[in-house]
Every structure is written in C-alpha cells, then in structure tokens.
Structure 1
Amino acid sequence: MLKIQYLVSGGVITNYKCSSKCKHCCYSSSPKWPNDYMTPSLADEIFAVLKRLGCDAIHIGGGEPLLQPDKIMSVVEAAHRNSIGIEYIETNASWYKDAASAKAVLKELKDHGINTLLISMDPYHNEYIPFWKVKGLIQACSDVKMNVFPWQMEFWDEIDALDDQKTHSLEEYIRLYGQDYPVRLMGRYGLNLKGRAFMTYRPFMKKQPVDQILKESKPCRLLSGIYHFHVDLYGNFIPQSCPGFSIPLKELENGTDPDRYRLFNSVESVGIKGLFELAEKEYGYMPKNEYAGKCDLCYDIRNHLVLELGLDLPDLKPEGHYKYI
C-alpha cells in the first residue's frame, strides 16, 4: 500500500489562483486558475489528519492566499481548532493598495494568532508586482508589529535599482546584470525545477538520449517524502519535490491501493522507466529522441495523458498544473 505514517514539515495551499504568473513557480499558479479557495470543513479535515501524523505546525501559501483575506481567516481558525501552529503566511504583496487597508488586514491576522508574513521579493515577482507594494507592505507590518520573513532579502538592491513604481521584465534585468543573469538567479534562489520553473529553465539544460534516461532510472522516493510537503485546497497531498502528482491526504493516512494510483506508484517504486513503460503500453505514448533529464521525460508523459488525451487520472491532480503552466 501507499501510506504515510509520519509528517514533519510542510504547508497548506489555500488557492492556486494568483495575481502573477511567475517564471519560477513550481506550482504553475496564475490568474487563469478558478477562484477556488480551501473551505473551512476541508481545512478542519486536513489539519486533523496532519495532527494525527505528528505535524504540529505548517505554513500557508498559494497561489496568493491573501487575494481573499476573509477566507484565509476561516482556515487559520481551523488550524487553531486542531492545535496546529502557523509559522507564517506567504504573500507576494500584490494585494497592497494603501497603508490603512493593509493594516486592517494585518491586524485581523494578528487577532487570529498570525505573527509572521513571508513577503516575496525577487526579480521573478517584480515582473508582475511593482516594488513599491513590497515596501509598503513591509512598512505596514512594522507599524502593526507583524514580523516579516523576507524571501529573499539578497535581491533587494538589484530590484531597488529599478523604478519601484513599475514592473520590470527579466529581459530588463538581463540588460542590467548580464546575459547569464537568469542562470545565476536560479542558483541563488534555490529553485525547485518543476512546473513552470522547469519550462523556464529547460532550454538551459543539457539534453540526453531517452534510452540513457531510462537506463539510469531509479525509484523516486521523494514522492513520499515527509519534509516540505504541501496539502492543497482540494485535499491533495502534494509531494515535496513534484507538484502535479498527488494522492488525497486522507487516503494516504490509512493506506491506499497502489493500483488506483498507478502512475504515482510507478515513479515512486520503479522510477521514470516504470512510468514510461506504463504510458507506452496502455496509452500509446511515443517519446522524442532526447530530453533534458528524467523530469523532462516525466512531464512529457504526464502532459500527453492530461492535455493530449484529456484523461481524468486520480494521481495527476489538479489538472490546472498542466493546463495553466
């Protein structure tokens, strides 16, 4: 059976809809996603399971969780009911309009026991969010004594060198800091190269023959990892390393039949070769000659199943991960 008996650290994705479509986003969040948000009842269910599995604290992210600040409060309340601490809430500051309205939201968060905001600041976000919003939100946090976890502060001077009233494309950063800036940026940020982040950096990666990738196939045990997992608003357990693969958390707690989640199980237990052989035999998948590694091949197979064949497969959820990349 596929089963998880213990979880250490992770987060809750309250929504995938976002004000941005950042090039580094491994979850493929964007404005195109439906305006769905985690319900209070599902939040209760998720936090109860997490507590039973030994996870005492989580962070909240998205998408942009503060696009709907009224709805995040019920999620926070559900965490408290289940004795789950909230380490921080992630935000890109896009919702900031002025000090007064921002401080009203921050004060309500503090009243609900939230003490820290992780505020994104990097060239990826700056393509969509002018830096004055980030500065304004940081000042508002200071005014109400809300802690700020800046992610990442090392980019401050580079962003601040440009007009903070405007957004700036990655091409502008390249002109200012050099042609190799995107690659250096990837290393400095510490990206998880999945989802849209993988599509962004795929052209920079060395290609390998498909036969070589299959020959080197090993089980991908990170799919059942207990660190930096996420649970999304649909109740899916999102592995720490691979968004787009999922199993309902409540099923993983009790153990679920691997035959129902054959794609997930094939990668977790055999590796990319297992997924390839399954897709080739049962879904008529035909590979290209070369790929930028096993993850590129894996995404090509999954895109074939979800986008080309239009299949509704339980372990390739949510479909928006592929549709809105």
Structure 2
Amino acid sequence: MLKIGYLVSGGIITNYKCSSKCKHCCYASSPEWPDDYMTPSMADEIFSILKSLGCHSVHIGGGEPLLKPDKILDVLQAAKENNVDIEYIETNASWYRDEASADAVLKDLKKYGVHTLLISIDPYHNEYIPFWKVKALMVACSRVRMGVLPWLMDFWADLDAMDDRKPHSLDEYARFFGQDYLLQLPKRYGLNLKGRALKTYKPRMKKQPFEEILKESKPCRLLSGIYHFHVDLYGNFVPQSCPGLSIPLRELLNGADPDKYRIFYNVESFGVGGFAELAIKEYGYDPKAEYAGKCDLCYDIRSYLVLERGLDLPDLKPEGHYKYA
C-alpha cells in the first residue's frame, strides 16, 4: 500500500489560477487555469488529516492565494478550528491596488492568525508585476504590523535598477546586466527544475542518452517525503519533488492501492526506468534518443499520457499542470 503515517512540514495550494505565468513556476500556475478555489469543507478535511499525521503548521500558496481574499478566510478558519498554525502566506503582490484596500485585507488575515507574508521579489515575477506593487505592499505590512519574508532580497537591487512602474521581461534584464545574467538566475533563485521551470531551462541543460538514464534509474523515494509536501485545493497530496504527480491525501492516510496509482507506485518503487518500461509496453510511448536527465524523461512520458493520449489517470492530477505548462 502507498501510505503516509507522518508529515512534518508542507504547504496548502488554495488555487492554481494566478495573475502571472512565470517561467520558473514548477506548479505551472497561470491565468489560464479554471477559477477554482479550495472550499471550506475540503480545507477542514485537509487540516484535520494533517493534524492527525503530526503536521502542526503549514504555509499557504498558489497560484496567487490572495486573488480571492474573501475565500482565503474560510481556509484560515478551517486551519484555526483544527489547531494548525499558518507560518506564512505566499503572494506576488499583484492584487495590491491602494492603501485602504490592502490594509483591510491584511487586517482580516491577522484576525485569523496570519502574521507573515512571503512576498515574491525576483525577475521572474517582475515580468508580470511592477515592482512598485511589491514596495507598496511591504509598506502596508509595516503599517499594520504584518511580518514580511522577502523572497528574495538578493534580487532587490536588480529590480530597483529598472523602472518600477512597469513590468520588465527577462530579455530586458539580460540587456541591462549582461547575457550571463539569465544563466545565473536558476542558481541564485535556488530553482526547482520541474513543471514550467523544466520547460524553460531544458534547452540549456546537458543531454543524456535514454539508455544511460535507464541504467542509472533508482526509486524516487522523495515522492512520499514528509518535508515540503503540498496539498492542493482538490485534496491531492503533491510530493515535494514532483508536481503533476499526486494521490488524494485521504487515500494515503489509510493506504492507497498501488494498482490504482500505478504511475506513482512505479516511479517511487522503481524510478523512471520502471515508469518508462510501463509506458512503452502499455501506452505505446516511443522514447527519444536523449533527454535532459531523468526528470525530463519522466515529465515527457507524463505529458505524453495526458496531452497526446488524453488518458484520465488518477495519479496525473490535476491535468491542468500539463495543459498550462
């Protein structure tokens, strides 16, 4: 059985819809996603399960969770009723309009026990969100005594060197700071090369022969890791290492059937080699000569199953992860 008996730290994905379509987003969030948001009943179920598994605090992210500040309050109420603390809420500041409305949102969050916002500060977000909004939101946080976790201050000077009244493309940053700037970004950010981030940087990654990847294949035990997992608005447990692979949290609590979640089971138990063998034999997958590593191979197979074959597979959810990458 695929089962989790203990969880330490993780996050809640209240929605995948976002005001941005950032090139580094491993969850493939974007404005194209359906306008779904975590319901109060789902939030209550999730927090109840997390508490029973020993997880006493989480962060909240998206998508952009504050696109719907009224709906996030129901999620926060469910956390409060289940005695799960909120470490911080991630935000890109796109929702900021003016002092009065921002102060009202922040004060509401504080009433529900939120004391810190993680505010995105980086060139990826700046392609969509002018830096003045980030600055103004930080000032608003100071005004109402809301803590700020700036992610990352290392990029403050870079963004501040540009006109803060409008967004700026990554190409603009390359012209301003030099072509090496874009090559250094993933390391400076500490990027997780999954989802859209993998799609963005794959052309620059070293290629590896398919057969060599199979020989090096090992079980991906991080799929059932207890650190930095996420649970999304549909109740899916999303492992820290692989967005786009998931199993409903309620099923993992009691033990999920490996025969039902064959892809998750194969990747976790046998690695990408076992998954590739399954895809070739049962789904007609035709492997390429080389890939940008094992994760590229895994993601290529999963995209093939969802997008080309149109298969409704229970562990490749939500499908939007592949459709909107």
- Coarse TM-score class (shorter-chain normalised): over 0.9
Question: What is residue 259 of structure 2 aligned with on the other side?
Answer: 259
Tell me what 1:176 maps to: 176
Partner of 2:122: 122
Q: Helix, strand or coil: the match of 1:108?
A: helix
Aligned mates of 2:61, 2:284 — CA distance in 1: 37
Matched, 1:46 2:79: no
CA distance in 2, matches of 1:191, 1:226: 20
Match of 2:145 in 1: 145
Q: Distance in 1 between matches of 2:289 and 2:266?
A: 22
After TM superposition, list the pairs within 5 Å mapping 1:162-311 onto structure 2: 162-311=162-311
Q: Cα distance, 1:152 vs. partner?
A: 0.4
Quick one: distance in 2 between partners of 1:71 and 1:237? 21
Query: What stretches of structure 1 of length at least 5 have no aligned partner?
Result: none
**Matched residues in 2 for 1:228 and 1:182: separation?**
27
1:17 is aligned to: 17
Aligned to 2:100: 100
Q: Which string of whole-angstrom CA distances, capped at 9 and with x for unpartnered residues, describes residues 284-323 of structure 1?
A: 0001111000111111100110000100000000000000
> What is the distance in 2 between the residues matched to 1:89 and 1:205?
32
Deviations 1:32-75 (A, max 9, x none): 00000000000000000000000000000000000000000000
Superposition deviation, residue 25 in structure 1: 0.2
Q: Could you say what secondary structure the match of 1:186 adopts?
A: helix
- Count residues with an aligned counterpart: 325
SS of 2:274's partner is helix
4+ residue stretches of structure 1 with deviation over 6 A? none
Q: Deviations over 1:201-258 (max 9, x none)?
A: 1111100110000111000001010000000000000001100000000000111110
Whole-angstrom distance in 2 between the partners of 1:107 and 1:317: 35
- The aligned counterpart of 1:316 is 316
- Residue 149 of structure 1: SS of its match in structure 2? strand
**What's the counterpart of residue 62 of structure 1?**
62
Write out aligned runs for 1:2-13 (5 A): 2-13=2-13
Counterpart AA for 1:38:
M
Q: CA deviation at 1:183?
A: 2.0
Q: How far has the Cα of 1:182 moved from its partner?
A: 1.7
Cα-to-partner distance string for 1:8-31 (whole Å, 9 max, x where unaligned):
000000000000000000000000
Task: Give distance in 2, aligned partners of 1:80 and 1:183.
Answer: 43
| Distance (Å, rounded) in 2 between the aligned partners of 1:228 and 1:40 | 23
Q: Distance in 1 between matches of 2:178 and 2:264?
A: 40
> Residues of 2 paired with 1:168 and 1:308: CA distance?
34
Distance 1:293 1:104 in 2: 47
Is there any run of 5+ residues in structure 2 with no aligned partner, and where?
none
After alignment, is 171-180 or 89-98 more displaced?
171-180
Q: 1 CA distance for matches of 2:300 and 2:153? A: 35
Provide the secondary structure at the position in 1 that maps to 2:310: coil
Tell whether 2:36 aligns with 1:36: yes
Shift of 1:179: 1.2
Identity of aligned residues (%): 74
Comparing 177-186 with 307-316, greater Cα deviation is found at 177-186
Question: In 2, distance between residues paired with 1:84 and 1:111?
Answer: 15
How far did 1:165 drift?
Answer: 0.2
Supply the AA of the counterpart residue of 1:139: V
Query: Which letter does structure 2 place at the counterpart of 1:238?
Result: V
> 1:43, 1:151 → 2: CA distance?
26
1:235 partner amino acid:
G
Amino acid at match of 1:272: V
Task: Name the residue aligned to 1:74.
Answer: 74
CA RMSD of aligned residues (A): 0.5
CA distance in 1, matches of 2:13, 2:273: 30
The amino acid of 2:236's aligned partner reads N
C-alpha offsets along residues 97-117 of structure 1, whole Å, 9 cap, x if unaligned? 111110010011111111100
Q: Which amino acid aligns with 2:245?
A: F
Find out whether 1:161 has 2:161 as its counterpart. Answer: yes
C-alpha separation in 2, matches of 1:294 and 1:181: 26
After superposition, what is the alpha-carbon deviation per residue over 1:78-136, rounded to whole angstroms, capped at 9, x for unaligned?
00000000000000000001111100100111111111000001000000000000000
Which amino acid letter does the alignment assign opposite residue 73 of structure 1? L
